[in-house]
Amino acid sequence: MVNFSTTQKIQPDFKRIVAFGILTAVLFVFSIPNSLEGHAQDPRRVLVLNSYNYSFQWTASITRGIEETLLEADPSIKIMVEFMDTKSHVTPEYYKNLEEQFHIKYSHVKFDAVITSDDNAVNFALKYRDDLFKGAPIIFCGVNNHNLPANSNFTNMAGILEAPDIAGSFNAALRLDPNLKTIYIVTDETTTGKSVRADAERIIIQFKDRVRLVWLQGLSMEELQDKLASLPKQSAVMLMTFTRDRLGQAFSYNEALGHICTACTRPVYGLFDFYLGNGIVGGMLISGKYQGIMAAELAIRVMDGENPDTIPVILQKSNRYMFDFTEMDRFGYALNKLPSESIVINIPESVYTRYKFEIAGVTGLILFLSIIIITLITNNRARRRAESELEELNRDQETLIDQRTEELTQRSQELEIANYELKKLGELKTAVLNTVSHDLRTPLTSVLGFCKIIDRDFKRFFLPLCRGAEELEGMGRRISSNLSIIENEGERLTRLINDFLDLSKIESGNIAWNNVSLDPAELITQCVPVLEGYFSDSGVSLKIDIKTDLPKIVADPDRLLQVLNNLVGNAAKFTDEGKVTVTADTTEGGWLRIEVSDTGVGIPTDEVDRIFEKFYQVCQDESATEISRGSGMGLAISKRIVEHYGGQITANSTPGQGSSFIFTIPFAK
């Protein structure tokens, strides 16, 4: 399993910055009490003394590693950075000048640690440690002189030696391309170049069975370029160090690398991370940044109280497998061939990595919209289903309504026909009744008239003749009694016919209403003798109680008297003892109110409402007299007359105690 960590030389590692930010914030919070005390307790001071200039990538990486690590551990730490620039200036005067300069700058400063990068800085620090840095512990990194720990001054010191892992870089090359047949090793004729070769010879001997090793040394840059331009396939180049060619031409690391990579057609491997990103595939590289990180970590341990002399000098631990994806890709090397924990730069950001927030947002939006669309589709379907069900229901309803309408139209037509026929029948009935009644009444009047004459003559002339002859006298009386019966029945028949005629005339609208302005009191008073006639043979008294000064009414007097006669007649018929009272006064609403009350038999409660119906007669018991038999039309006619004038007629009755009939007529305006 190969783990890669991607670093960009130009763009800082985002995660590290975030982590650093969070850590800084946390440390800031926890350091508040310390900060408050800080006025009393000085912050720790560290001097970073670099042998070279910041423009030298190696030095810049070391410095960044130191600063980031120190600040991460202690944000309040004061870091002072110096670049001795001893690649450009090497004269004793320059060193003297530096010493004076630092004396001015730092003689009053007490450093908790001095971190040096590369050999010149550590040598300078050792030399002036007591004068300039007041015996501060020295933490070194990037030191090529592996004999440094043997120095007699090597006390109160800890650090990291710069030791290239040559075997690691050869392994990396063979791992990426196992078919490599030749590795060309480039180095120069400088002291460093020679020493590197001497070291390398001992180490790479282990690869001689796997690959042919060819040294390209002691060449001018041009000669080197010519060689590199014509290298065979299945070969690679290992760049050790090249700062001066055979002709004495000096090159910076990157200048040399530029010339080499321009000419070389095969992959170039190296030993230092400052070559990475400038044309080498990679290798087990000495990392300036990790040198710096490790030096800073040692400085923190020492500042926290650990004795530096007990910390062993570190060798090679800062080296890392580091590769450039651009170069790997150029030679078709796959990432999965790399050793685990390799650091790979220039891995192209995948579209997903680059736009992960946008992609997440758009995906979320698409999901959200999909849910909405699905919901809408489901709703739409449900709505359409409901609509079609509703349409079907509507169609059924319409069909049903059409059917019902047709049936109703048919029924209505049938009813119209029936109504028409009924009307015709009613007209026919009225015509028949009129004719029959009229035709009956005329001979009946004659029969009654002659009957009365016969009875009168018989009683006057014949009955006296029978006096003395007992049998004849008895027969005479019986004839006279029979004549009376014929008279009574004839009169009853006449009343019946009259009632029939009145009712049918009122219902058919053929009655004549001879309305005149009337004084109600006067009308009733005139009629009193007639009313008294009903009580001539009975022990019942008639009481008339009429309020004077009643306003006038407009009505047909005959019809009003017909109503009054009927009510008083009924009262007389159904009252055996006590009294019948007729009162006339005004209602609260300003109407004429006439009441006829009696102390008679009364009307059964459940029949009171029905007595105004045509032909309705209350069930009479066997004790009903002959006179109580009526037509059942009197109250129906009275109701129609009263209602014709806009009034009302009502009845109240208590069986066994009596009844009272009230009708109202509006006064004239």
Task: Determine the Cα–Cα distance for residues 601 and 663; give it in Å rounded to an integer.
Answer: 21
Q: Using the minimum distance from each CB to ligand ADP, give the nearer residue, 93 or 622.
A: 622
Does 571 engage in binding with ligand ADP (CB under 6 A)? yes
Q: How many residues does the chain have?
A: 669
- Which window, 81-89, 114-122, 535-543, 595-603, contacts ligand ADP (CB under 6 A)? 595-603
Beta bridge partners of 140: 116, 159
Q: Which is nearer to ligand ADP, 496 or 521 (CB)?
A: 496
- Residue nearer to ligand ADP on the CB measure, 345 or 611: 611
Query: Which residues neighbour 338 within 8 Å (Cβ) at sequence distance 6 or greater?
Result: 2, 4, 172, 175, 176, 321, 323, 344
Crossing angle between the packed helical segments 118-133 and 92-106, to the nearest 10 degrees? 50
Q: Count other Cβ atoms within 10 Å, centred on residue 320.
A: 22
Q: Kindly tell me which of 163 and 584 has the beta carbon lying closer to ligand ADP.
A: 584
Decide whether 193 or 658 has the Cβ nearer to ligand ADP: 658
Q: Which stretch binds ligand ADP (CB under 6 A): 28-36, 201-209, 351-359, 568-576?
A: 568-576
Comparing CB distances to ligand ADP, the nearer of 636 and 662 is 636
Is 292 a binding residue for ligand ADP by CB under 6 A? The answer is no
Q: How far is the CB of 598 from ligand ADP (least distance, A)?
A: 5
Q: List the one residue from 342, 504, 570, 664 that touches ligand ADP (CB under 6 A).
A: 570
Dist CA 106 CA 110 (whole Å): 8
Report how far Cα 123 is from the mean position of its chain's Cα atoms: 75
Q: Does 600 bind ligand ADP (CB under 6 A)?
A: yes
Yes or no: say if 221 and 227 are a contact pair by the CB < 8 Å rule: no
Alpha-helix residue ranges (DSSP H) falling in 205-354: 221-229, 253-263, 288-303, 325-330, 351-354
Contact 502, 511 (CB under 8 A): yes
Dist CA 487 CA 129 (whole Å): 171
- Distance from C-alpha of 12 to C-alpha of 67, rounded to nearest angstrom: 14
Across 253-411, the runs of DSSP E, i.e. the strands, are 268-269, 282-286, 314-315, 319-324, 342-345
Task: Rank residues 279 and 600 by Cβ distance to ligand ADP and give the closer one.
Answer: 600
Tokens encoding 56: 């030298």
Determine contact, residues 178/334, Cβ cutoff 8 Å: no
- List residues bridging with 324 in a β-sheet: 345
**Alpha-carbon separation of residue 485 from 223, 449, 451, 474 (angstroms):** 174, 14, 10, 17
Q: Judged by CB, which is closer to ligand ADP: 186, or 635?
A: 635
Structure token pair of residue 172: 């990396």
Taking the least distance from each CB to ligand ADP, the nearer of 283 and 630 is 630
Based on the shown chain and the rule CB under 6 A, indicate whether residue 574 belongs to the binding site for ligand ADP. yes
- Tell the smallest beta-carbon distance from residue 659 to ligand ADP (Å): 4
Centroid of chain to Cα 514: 80
316: its two tokens: 């090679």
Candidates 104-112, 191-199, 542-550, 593-601: pick the segment binding ligand ADP (CB under 6 A): 593-601
Tell me how far, at minimum, the Cβ of 520 lies from ligand ADP, in Å.
Answer: 21
61 versus 631: smaller Cβ distance to ligand ADP = 631
Which C-beta is closer to ligand ADP: that of 255 or that of 607?
607
Shortest separation between residue 527's beta carbon and ligand ADP, angstroms? 18
Tell me how far, at minimum, the Cβ of 401 lies from ligand ADP, in Å: 47
Rounded to whole angstroms, what are the CA distances from 146 to 149, 203, 313? 7, 17, 10
Q: Give CA–CA dist 120/52, Å, rounded.
A: 8
In angstroms, give the least distance from the CB of 498 to ligand ADP.
11
Nearer to ligand ADP, 282 or 600 (CB): 600
CB of 526: closest distance to ligand ADP in angstroms? 22
Pick the stretch among 140-148, 161-169, 510-518, 569-577 that binds ligand ADP (CB under 6 A).
569-577
**Would you give the binding string for ligand ADP spanning residues 101-120, x where CB under 6 A is met?**
--------------------
Tokens at 460, concatenated: 């006057």
Answer yes or no whether residue 599 interacts with ligand ADP by CB under 6 A: no
- Which one of 297-305, 340-348, 455-463, 565-573 is the stretch in contact with ligand ADP (CB under 6 A)? 565-573
Q: How far is the CB of 547 from ligand ADP (least distance, A)?
A: 23
Other beta carbons within 10 angstroms of residue 15's beta carbon come to 9
Min. distance of Cβ 500 from ligand ADP in angstroms?
12
Q: Nearest distance from residue 495's CB to ligand ADP, in Å?
A: 8
The label of the residue with tokens 């800073």 reads 296
Stretch that binds ligand ADP, among 161-169, 325-333, 545-553, 564-572 (CB under 6 A): 564-572
Task: Give whichever of 57 and 570 is closer to ligand ADP, judged by the CB atom.
Answer: 570
CA atoms of 183 and 235, how far apart (whole Å):
6
In the complex, least distance from residue 635 CB atom to ligand ADP, rounded to whole angstroms: 3
Of 551 and 632, which CB lies nearer to ligand ADP in the complex structure?
Answer: 632
Smaller CB separation from ligand ADP, 549 or 606: 606
CA angle 146, 149, 151 (to 5 degrees): 105
Q: If DSSP codes are grouped into helix, strand and coil, which group holds residue 247?
A: coil
Shortest separation between residue 626's beta carbon and ligand ADP, angstroms = 13
CA angle centred on 531, ends 527 and 532, rounded to 5°: 115
Q: Indicate the pairing of strand 157-161 with strand 314-315.
A: parallel
Binding-site size for ligand ADP (CB under 6 A) equals: 19
**CA 431 from centroid of its chain's CA atoms:** 80
Task: Provide the minimum distance between the beta carbon of 546 and ligand ADP in the complex, in angstroms, as a whole number.
Answer: 20
Residue numbers 603-662 binding ligand ADP by CB under 6 A: 603, 611, 617-618, 630-636, 659
Q: Which residue is nearest to ligand ADP (CB)?
A: 630
Question: At its nearest, how many Å lie between ligand ADP and the CB of residue 596?
Answer: 8
Distance CA 646, CA 665 (A): 7
Is the CB of 246 or the CB of 505 nearer to ligand ADP? 505
Residues 240-279 interacting with ligand ADP (rule: CB under 6 A): none
Q: Whole-angstrom Cα distance, residue 287 to residue 168?
A: 13
> For the sheet containing 591-598, what is the strand order?
541-546, 579-586, 591-598, 658-666, 649-654
Closest distance to ligand ADP from the beta carbon of 617 (Å): 4
597 scored as a contact of ligand ADP (CB under 6 A): no
Please provide residue 544's backbone torsions phi and psi, each rounded to the nearest 5 degrees: -110, 125
Q: Identify which of 93, 85, 89, 88 has the alpha carbon closest to the alpha carbon of residue 117.
A: 85
CB of 448 to ligand ADP, least distance (A): 19
The whole-angstrom separation of Cα 539 and Cα 628 is 17
In degrees rounded to 5, what are phi and psi of residue 141?
-150, 165
Based on the shown chain and the rule CB under 6 A, indicate whether residue 601 belongs to the binding site for ligand ADP.
yes
Place of tokens 């006590």: 578
Least distance from C-beta 602 to ligand ADP, angstroms? Answer: 6
Select 282 or 602, whichever has its Cβ closest to ligand ADP.
Answer: 602
Which residues would be at the binding site for ligand ADP (CB under 6 A)?
A: 566, 570-571, 574, 598, 600-601, 603, 611, 617-618, 630-636, 659
